[in-house]
Amino acid sequence: MYDLMKESIIDILFKNLGEFYSGKKIAEKLGISSVAVWKRVKNLIDEGYEIEAVRKLGYRLSDHPTRLWPSGYSIKKTKWLPNTVLFHKQVSSTMDTARSCYKNGSRVIALARKQTTGRGRHGNKWVSQIDSGIYMSVAVKPNLLLIKSLPLINIAACVAVHKLLKEKYKINTKIKWPNDIYYDDKKICGILIESETEGNSITYIAIGIGLDLKENENYASLSENGSYINPMELVGLLIDELDRQLNNITNNSNFLISYWKLHNNTIGRKVLINDFGTKISGYAKDIDEIGCLLVKDGDVEKKIVSGDIMFLEGVK
Ligand code: BTN
């Protein structure tokens, strides 16, 4: 349940991150008793906040936010995206949260420290160990798009991740069609789009992003090169960038396609595509104006809308 006092306490502690703040001062500020403050601090600790409580000194929130927290995100509500964050310590999949909230009438940004059944494209699972990455699903406003723009949503989402890593964190990655992000030849980010459609319209759409911050048995990690990433800050910046790139679907799709082409590692390579059991191999020649992969198999050119690809050899 939403508790304004609890939110106010965490706001005060965030503003004084890493420093002790007296419980008495918090109580005076909020017009409640010190006991009421302590009750809420205990609650916050149960929710996962690292708060130290020391007699005579007060409360201190850990000054090194190396993981996701329940609140304190700076996220604006935009044309495409909601700004309500729903945070889980642990959840089956943030895609489930996004969908069930939508069915109950609200669009949310679902975040989790851990997913027990994180999912990837084509029925793959997405390993989501605790505090090892960003596991986020965002319900996009569906009536802004037509079905034919679905592949472009993939492109917009991976352009957003790529651009943010490059410009804000100086991390240079490559995009593997359609929307995997590779760092030093290892996958560090996967994007999953789930949608429901009726006729020509999209009735529900959520973008799921899994970004590895710590290495695990399957994926590389962004922190490998020693750079420190504050996951909460990254979430706020990512939502901003995602909104900008989603806008480009209707305003400047040429930018999305040319950015994707400039930073991809797929075009020019021999690939094997697996689309739910149907296998196609050939040379990845280009992507078209909505992001479909054009593959040359002998004299025949095929247009691939979706699928998992494997590289069979290097650049032609
Ligand atoms: C892929 O590369 O196959 C897509 C992986 C998408 C993983 C993210 S993590 C957050 C969201 N919740 C999920 O269960 N999956 C997506």
Q: What is the tens place of the pLDDT at every residue in 151-191? A: 899 999 999 999 999 998 888 999 999 989 998 888 999 99
Q: Which residue among 119, 140, 175, 180 has the greatest number of ligand 1 atoms within 8 angstroms of its CB, and so is best to mutate?
A: 119
- Parallel, antiparallel or unpaired: strands 180-183 and 186-198: antiparallel
Any ligand 1 atom below 6 A from CB of 118: yes
pLDDT at 314: 57
Residue nearest to atom 14 of ligand 1 (CA): 118
pLDDT at 4: 81
pLDDT at 316: 43
Any ligand 1 atom below 6 A from CB of 94: yes
Any ligand 1 atom below 6 A from CB of 120: yes
Any ligand 1 atom below 6 A from CB of 136: yes
If we measure between CA atoms, which residue out of 79, 119, 78, 71 comes closest to residue 98? 119
Any ligand 1 atom below 6 A from CB of 81: no
Any ligand 1 atom below 6 A from CB of 180: yes
pLDDT tens, per residue, the chain with 316 residues: 557 898 889 889 988 888 999 999 999 999 999 999 999 999 888 776 789 999 999 999 876 566 787 777 778 888 899 999 998 888 999 999 999 999 999 999 999 999 999 999 988 999 999 888 999 999 998 877 778 788 899 999 999 999 999 998 888 999 999 989 998 888 999 999 999 988 888 899 999 999 988 755 555 556 545 556 788 889 999 999 999 999 999 899 999 999 999 999 999 999 999 877 888 899 999 999 989 999 998 899 999 988 889 998 754 4
Provide the token pair at 192.
Answer: 């999953």
The CA distances from residue 78 to 11, 142, 216, 243, in Å, are 23, 13, 34, 7
